[in-house]
């Protein structure tokens, strides 16, 4: 009987999935280089400049297909952490749904990186509709991708202008929206504001977002990567390609950080795994979001220099100083 129990336990441990995920160092990608023969970051319709060194974005691997024995083996290896599955998957949420969410976050990070980089370089932005709330006043007027030119007669230059134009409005009030659809001439429509679900002001029902307004194209060609934390490294690659000189010289620099359209660098998860991945990829310096500095300092591999960054312009200056041998902000 005991032999049977041992066999049953072995079968369960080897083949039955447990409600945990395994997290560990993921692959890194040089945003100044190529993947599968295709340049990760390219600019078409405008002259670019030679780059040097590497700017490596880092990732975290997540394995959802974990058995009891597999989880124990990964944990004992010291390279992986085991966490409850519900921390990464909502109840009833499929792997495919999570994958789509991660891909959308990754695409948003690419768009934010482009806007932040071009804004830093002095290029203009425009405001477009990111989403329209179904059944809202805007639902019959606007579509995703429409360019917002004015709201109630107020000229719109960035997404904050939309918020300012709607501040002080009330439900039932009629306002005008001037917009451009799919490159057509501008037109103006009136909408009657609804009640806002989170405040006393009127509710129009669309989400504005800043996008680059330039006569050339920036392309980021990297697939099958999820999450928002590559934004900083994409933005730096765009800046490096579009400005004279080599931002990183011959250095191999890795990093991470979610980036906003205005260039602010936000904290990310899995910093300890990304530091390991960077070290194994040969990086000698790592760009760390300021809010991740304490965790990064406690877990950094030996010989990996931590550079603290809070925004894109600061990250550019830090890389320039690193290349010139000048002091850089450290964690």
Catalytic-role residue among 229, 272, 279, 308: 229
> Is there a contact between 21 and 63 (Cβ–Cβ < 8 Å)?
yes
> Is there a contact between 120 and 314 (Cβ–Cβ < 8 Å)?
no
CA 79 to chain centre: 25
- Both tokens of 92, joined, read 């009833």
Beta bridge partners of 218: 43
| 274 has catalytic annotation | yes
Catalytic-role residue among 120, 272, 274, 308: 274
Distance CA 131, CA 312 (A): 26
Helix H or strand E segment including 12: helix 2-15
The residue behind tokens 């000048």 is 326
> Is there a contact between 130 and 143 (Cβ–Cβ < 8 Å)?
no
Q: Which of 136, 144, 267, 257 is nearest to 209 (CA)?
A: 144
Distance CA 93, CA 82 (A): 19
The backbone region for 167, taken as left when phi is positive above 0, alpha when psi lies in -120 to 50, beta otherwise, is beta
Residues in CB range of 109: below 8 A, 6 or more apart: 227, 228, 229, 230, 231, 234, 258, 259
Bridge pairing between strands 194-195 and 202-203? antiparallel
| 229 has catalytic annotation | yes
> Is there a contact between 305 and 253 (Cβ–Cβ < 8 Å)?
no
Distance CA 226, CA 228 (A): 7
Which residues does the annotation mark as catalytic? 229, 274
């Amino acid at each position: 009987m005991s032999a049977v129990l041992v066999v049953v336990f072995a079968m369960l441990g080897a083949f039955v999935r447990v409600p945990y995920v395994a997290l560990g160092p993921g692959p890194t990608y040089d945003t100044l280089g190529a993947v599968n023969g295709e340049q990760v970051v390219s600019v078409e319709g405008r002259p670019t400049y030679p780059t040097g060194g590497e700017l490596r974005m880092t990732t975290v691997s997540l394995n959802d297909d974990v058995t009891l024995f597999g989880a124990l083996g990964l944990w004992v290896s010291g390279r992986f952490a085991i966490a409850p599955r519900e921390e990464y998957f909502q109840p009833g949420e499929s792997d495919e749904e999570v994958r789509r969410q991660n891909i959308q976050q990754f695409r948003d990070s690419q768009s934010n990186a482009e806007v932040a980089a071009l804004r830093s370089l002095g290029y203009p932005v425009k405001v477009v509709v990111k989403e329209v709330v179904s059944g809202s006043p805007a639902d019959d007027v606007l579509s995703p991708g429409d360019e917002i030119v004015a709201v109630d007669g107020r000229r719109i230059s960035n997404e904050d202008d939309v918020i300012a134009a709607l501040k002080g409005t009330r439900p039932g009030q009629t306002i005008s929206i001037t917009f451009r659809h799919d490159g057509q001439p501008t037109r103006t429509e009136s909408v009657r504001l609804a009640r806002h679900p989170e405040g006393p002001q009127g509710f129009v029902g669309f989400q504005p977002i800043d996008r680059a307004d330039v006569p050339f194209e920036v392309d980021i060609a990297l697939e099958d990567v999820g999450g928002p934390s590559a934004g900083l490294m994409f933005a730096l690659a765009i800046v490096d390609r579009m400005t004279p000189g080599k931002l990183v010289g011959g250095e191999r620099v890795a990093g991470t950080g979610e980036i906003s359209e205005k260039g602010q660098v936000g904290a990310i998860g899995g910093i300890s795994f990304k530091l390991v991945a960077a070290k194994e990829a040969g990086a000698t310096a790592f760009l760390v979001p300021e809010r991740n500095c304490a965790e990064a300092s406690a877990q950094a591999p030996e010989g990996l220099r931590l550079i603290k960054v809070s925004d894109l312009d600061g990250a550019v200056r830090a890389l320039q100083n690193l290349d010139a041998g000048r002091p850089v902000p450290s964690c």
